[in-house]
Chain A
């Protein structure tokens, strides 16, 4: 019984991590159709800004919830203004250019910080279920993921800003005829996607450690989740995270984490063979 409870918490927290580190990508890919291969590096920059902020004495929660998202949002806006902007509509070139950016950012961080893993101690301590202990921080991750999904839904569905953003993605010419500047909306949307990635990188940093090449560990899973989810941004990312996270964690429990990742990928490839449009191409089609 205790074991079952712990496994359940582990599955939930794996699902939540997937939601967190895929959400920024889901915004940028789902709304703008931009393949951002520098996504992992945005997560990495979020983790590093947390690390640096803590070192200069900023409170952990302020650094994690304010500084990291802000800093990475600025980086994202710069990326959009300097590089991505010139390549809208050329999907393959965007993919290549953002990948170049990914190598470039990794290179800069390796030059400054060296290729060594740095740790951030996990806050909030741990709790006991029977004889088993589990980190309380996992509940924080589950809470953050729920908060990201809920606020995403509220903003997109019920705010004026969400309406403008959705309208612009749907039909930029019509939106600009109504007085909206699509170019500004693109920049802001990219910035928000980057901010979400920065937040995710910072929230996950205490568990993953901080390393210039850490983005590689996330990029594959994030893309698989977003693509497996399909068209609808929130419902897709949510449902794909639940599916892949559960498969990954349960296989991991019975074998090893590497086999768990293999299982995640194989299930994703099979899923795309059966549902090439992703989960929301078939189910929940009218959701966000």
Chain B
């Protein structure tokens, strides 16, 4: 077990890097990098939701894209109807939570095995994709918002200060808003994992039967964790929709689900920093890949996934940590050998 000092140092380091990024990037980097980072912050929040439910809860879900998209769509529909974002924010976090709780009830109280669970969440995501893709007709309107099928919903109003629509948040302020949200999500999840609830969740990952025999209702805890992860994903979707001021059914497609999993696998399962690093690094990589025309992006994403599962299953951050520790511990003994 790691000493508490290291834990505190790690938290301080993450906080410092986060704050420095928020302060320095607008000063030093060109505007387009700042806008790109805003997008990757929303992806990193999405990655955190899977990192939490899968890495700590041991529940593998393909459904984080569903909650991401559901959050985005809810925000869009309510913000267009109300022309004001306060209620839209609340609803965009609440509706995915309710949906996750209902879905979670069916899955966890039915005691589906983890693999069945993965398949069900996958099917739900695909279903949203198909369903929203077929909402192009005029009858698919919710108030003033037309769902628009595969064409999506354009011109979504930006966030504004509560009750004051004249003071809305522009693209450059959005950088700070989503950056702060990302940091808050990270520290929030760290705090949550330190509580009694968080330790039971990790306990379920380690040995579900034992936790159950200790008298905890595993089904309830799992449903709760699933719901929390859904809220985190919805927060990401909210940020994404604001960055884009547009949303379409693509958020529900297999590619999105694939990317979330790749961020977590590449960054490191069972950590919270890793998936953030994975989301931001692969975000920049995807932009590079998008500029070349020779290979389809899916081909490269698929290859990365297969290679990581077969060769580096623990991910970049845990691997680096292990290599550093080994190097640290090997250093004195090496000196010793030279002396002897």
Contacts and interface: CB of A to CB of B under 8 A. Distances in A.
Interface of A: 35, 83, 86-87, 91-93, 95-97, 99-108, 110-111, 216, 219-221, 223-224, 227, 256, 258, 261-262, 265, 268-270, 272-274, 276
B99 to A, nearest CB: 13
11 contacts: A92-B60, A96-B265, A100-B301, A100-B305, A103-B258, A104-B303, A105-B302, A107-B301, A110-B298, A111-B296, A227-B116
Nearest to A86: B310
B309 interface: yes
A107 B110 contact: no
Contacts of A219: 122, 126
The winner among B107, B295, B301, B309 for most chain A CB atoms within 10 A is B309
A272 B116 contact: yes
Given A272-B112, A276-B111, A93 B313 contact: yes
The winner among A101, A102, A220, A273 for most chain B CB atoms within 10 A is A220
Interface residues of B, number: 44
Contacts of A96: 261, 265, 305, 309
Contacts of B123: 220-221, 223-224, 265, 268
Contact of B115 (A91, A258, A269, A276): A91
Contacts, number: 124
B114 A92 contact: yes
Contacts of A270: 106
The winner among A35, A86, A104, A224 for most chain B CB atoms within 10 A is A104
A102 B122 CA distance: 14
Contacts of B304: 100
Contacts of B33: none
B144 to A, nearest CB: 24
Q: Which DSSP category, helix, strand, loop or mixed, fits chain B's interface?
A: helix
Contact of A103 (B111, B305, B313): B305
Contacts of A92: 60, 114-115, 118
B115 A35 contact: yes
A149 to B, nearest CB: 23
Contact of B298 (A86, A107, A268, A274): A107
A145 B116 CA distance: 25
B310 A106 contact: no
Given A97-B306, A227-B116, A216 B126 contact: yes
Given A92-B114, A107-B299, A220 B310 contact: no
B151 interface: no
Given A110-B296, A216-B254, 20 more contacts: A35-B115, A91-B115, A92-B60, A96-B309, A97-B306, A97-B310, A99-B258, A100-B303, A103-B302, A103-B305, A104-B303, A106-B296, A106-B298, A107-B298, A216-B253, A220-B119, A223-B119, A224-B119, A227-B116, A276-B111
Given A92-B60, A107-B302, A272-B120, A262 B114 contact: no
Contact of B309 (A100, A103, A272): A100
Interface in B49-80: 60
Q: Sort A-B residue pairs by CB-CB distance and give the 6 closest, nearest first.
A: A107-B299, A103-B302, A100-B305, A104-B302, A100-B306, A107-B298
B302 to A, nearest CB: 3
Contacts of B124: 265
Contact of B296 (A107, A268, A269, A273): A107
B197 interface: no
Contact of A83 (B112, B115, B306, B313): B306
